[in-house]
Amino acid sequence: MSKNLTSRSQDYSKWYNELVVKADLAENSGVRGCMVIKPYGYAIWEKMQAALDQMFKDTGHENAYFPLFIPKSYLSKEASHVDGFAKECAVVTHYRLKNDPDGKGIIVDPEAKLEEELIVRPTSETIIWDTYRRWIQSYRDLPILINQWANVVRWEMRTRLFLRTAEFLWQEGHTAHATQQEAIEEAERMMEVYADFAENWMAVPVIRGVKTASERFAGAVETYCIEALMQDGKALQAGTSHFLGQNFAKAFDVKYVNKEGQQELVWATSWGVSTRLMGALVMTHSDDQGLVIPPKLAPIQVVIVPIYKGEEQLDQIHEHVKPLMNELKSLGISVKFDSRDTVKPGFKFNEYELKGVPVRLAIGARDLEQGTYEVARRDLLTKETLPQEGISGHIKALLNDIQETMYQKALAYRESHITEVNSYDEFKEVLNNHGGFISAHWDGTPETEEKIKEETKASIRCIPLDGAVEEGVCVYTGKKSARRVLFAKAY
C-alpha cells in the first residue's frame, strides 16, 4: 500500500485530514458536520472508554442515561447556559412525516407540530438537574455521582473530523453535593482523573489549569481544564471539569434538608471528555508515515507478517508462531497474524505503519532456520533481529518502553514550547515564529484578553494551577499582574 500522505511540514492541517481518513479512523458522512467513526477508529475510542469508565467507577461514580431531547423551556432556565448553547443547536419541531399530496415524495406533516420544541442535547445539565430535583430531598441522598456516555449535538459551522463535529460522542459526569467544598474537591478530582488518563494512557502531557471567565463553560463558576500541545504548536483543550456552584440548583429549585433540618441549595459539578481526544491522540504522536498509537490504546499491539513463498511455507510459519501468539495473549497483549495472500509483505508493512501498530514482527524462511524474528517498533521506525527465545518478554518490555518513550518525546516537545515573554513584541514574535504556549502577564480583564485574541488569534488557554505567584505587568496594557497565564493559538 502506498501512503501518499502529505507531510506535516508541507501542510499540517492537510496531513491531519488525510491521515484520519487513510488510516480508517473516520470520514465525513452525507449529513453536514456529522462523521462516521470507522471500526479501526472506534476500536481506539472503545479502549479510551474502557479505561476512563474504570477510572470513574474507581472514584465512586455510576453510569446512568438521560433523554436525548431537552424541552426548550429547560434550556432557558439558567441564563448564561442558554446564551452559550442556543446559537448552535438542532431543534426538533415535528414528530411525523407524510406523503406529499402533490406526489413529490414525503414532507413534514404540518399537523404534527410539537407544542414545545425539543433541543437535541448539546450537554445535559438542564435535563439532569430537572431529574435531580425529584431524587434529592435530604442530605442522605447526597452526594449523587453519576456519569453518562452519550452523543451530543452542537451545530458548528466549520467542522473537522474528531476536532469539531456537529455530533460527537462523549461522557458527561454530573454530580450533586451538600457542600461547596465537596463539589470543588470533586471538580478538581475529575480534572486529575483526566490528566492521569491523558498522560498515562494517551501518552499526552497536559497542563492543569483553570479557565478565565470568558472561556468558562456557560453556567460554571469555575472551569478546570487540561491543555495539551499539538506538533504544530497549537494547543488543544483535552478535557474540562466544572464547579457549577448552585447555579443549576437555583434554576431547577433543587434543595435538600441538612442534618439540622434546614433547606439548602445543592452544589454541583459537571465534567466531560469527547471523541475530540481522538484528534489530540493523532496530532500529538503521529508522523509522516502515519499514525503512532500508544500501546495502551492500540487495537492491535503486535502484528506478525509472514514472508513466504507458497502455501506450505505459510502454514509452516503459522504453526511456528502459534505458541508465541498464545504466550502474548496470555500476557494480555493483542496480536494479529496477517496471512492475506492478496497483498505483498511490503504493502502490509506500509499499512501497519499507516495504522500505527506499535510492534511489527516479520518472519521468513531464514528466520525459521535461525530461530529469529525481525522486530520493528513503530514510534522510532527502528528494527532489529532477535532470537525467538525470550521474545514474548522482550515484546512486553518493548511495549512499555514505546508507551514511555512516546510520552517523554511529547513532553520534551511541550517543554521546549512554553516560552516566557515580557513584552507584546516578544509575545507576537514567539507566537509567529516558534508557537506553543506563551507564558505572559495579563491584567486580568476580559477586554485585554479579547484584544490580544483579535490581534494575534492567541487565547488564554488557562491559568496554570502550578504557576507561581509572581508580580509583573501585563504585556498588553502594562497594568499590574499577579501571575503569568498561558496563551496559545488553539484548536
What are the residues binding a copy of itself (CB under 8 A)? 27, 29-31, 34-39, 42-43, 45-46, 62-76, 82, 86-98, 105-106, 108, 117-120, 127, 130-131, 134, 140, 146, 150-151, 153, 155, 167, 169, 342
Nearest to 123 by CA among 301, 273, 262, 16: 273
Query: Which CB atom, from 132 or from 442, has the smaller least distance to a copy of itself?
Result: 132
Please, are residues 62 and 212 in contact by the beta-carbon 8 Å criterion? Answer: no
Residue 88 CB, nearest approach to a copy of itself (Å): 7
Residue 20 CB, nearest approach to a copy of itself (Å): 14
Residue 42 CB, nearest approach to a copy of itself (Å): 5
Please, are residues 127 and 74 in contact by the beta-carbon 8 Å criterion? Answer: yes
Query: Which CB atom, from 49 or from 316, has the smaller least distance to a copy of itself?
Result: 49
Neighbour-count burial for 286-315, b at 16+ CB within 10 Å, e otherwise: bbebbbbbbbbbbbbbbbbbbbbeeeeeee
- At 266, list the grid cell: 445543592
Query: Which CB atom, from 150 or from 184, has the smaller least distance to a copy of itself?
Result: 150
Q: Is the dihedral of CA 257, 259, 262, 263 positive or negative?
A: negative
Query: Which CB atom, from 46 or from 315, has the smaller least distance to a copy of itself?
Result: 46
Query: Which CB atom, from 90 or from 473, has the smaller least distance to a copy of itself?
Result: 90
Q: Is the dihedral of CA 263, 264, 265, 270 positive or negative?
A: negative
Query: Which CB atom, from 108 or from 418, has the smaller least distance to a copy of itself?
Result: 108
Please, are residues 178 and 266 in contact by the beta-carbon 8 Å criterion? Answer: yes
Query: Which CB atom, from 140 or from 322, has the smaller least distance to a copy of itself?
Result: 140
Residue 215 CB, nearest approach to a copy of itself (Å): 22
Q: Which residues contact 169 (CB under 8 A, 6 or more apart)?
A: 37, 45, 149, 150, 151, 274, 275
Q: Is the dihedral of CA 248, 250, 256, 262 positive or negative?
A: positive
Helix (H) or strand (E) holding 335: strand 335-337
Residue type, 19: L
Helix (H) or strand (E) holding 279: helix 276-285
Residue 90 CB, nearest approach to a copy of itself (Å): 5
Query: 204 phi and psi, to 5 degrees?
Result: -115, 110
Query: Which CB atom, from 140 or from 329, has the smaller least distance to a copy of itself?
Result: 140
Three-class SS of 165-198 = CCEEEEEEEEEEECCHHHHHHHHHHHHHHHHHHH
Residue 36 CB, nearest approach to a copy of itself (Å): 5
Helix (H) or strand (E) holding 322: helix 310-330
Residue 262 CB, nearest approach to a copy of itself (Å): 19
Residue type, 368: L
Query: Concatenated DSSP letters for 200-241?
Result: HTS----EEEE--GGGS-TT-SEEEEEEEE-TTS-EEEEEEE
Query: Which CB atom, from 62 or from 470, has the smaller least distance to a copy of itself?
Result: 62
Nearest to 189 by CA among 208, 202, 162, 170: 208
With H, G, I as helix, E, B as strand and everything else as coil, classify residue 76. Answer: coil
Residue type, 304: I
Residue 85 CB, nearest approach to a copy of itself (Å): 9
Query: Which CB atom, from 122 or from 444, has the smaller least distance to a copy of itself?
Result: 122
Residue 266 CB, nearest approach to a copy of itself (Å): 17
Quote the CA–CA distance of 104 and 102 in Å, as a whole number: 6
Residue 282 CB, nearest approach to a copy of itself (Å): 17
- Ramachandran assignment for 356, one of left (phi > 0), alpha (psi -120 to 50 degrees), beta (any other): left
Please, are residues 44 and 299 in contact by the beta-carbon 8 Å criterion? Answer: yes
Query: Which CB atom, from 275 or from 286, has the smaller least distance to a copy of itself?
Result: 275
Query: Which CB atom, from 105 or from 310, has the smaller least distance to a copy of itself?
Result: 105
Residue 272 CB, nearest approach to a copy of itself (Å): 17
Residue 169 CB, nearest approach to a copy of itself (Å): 7
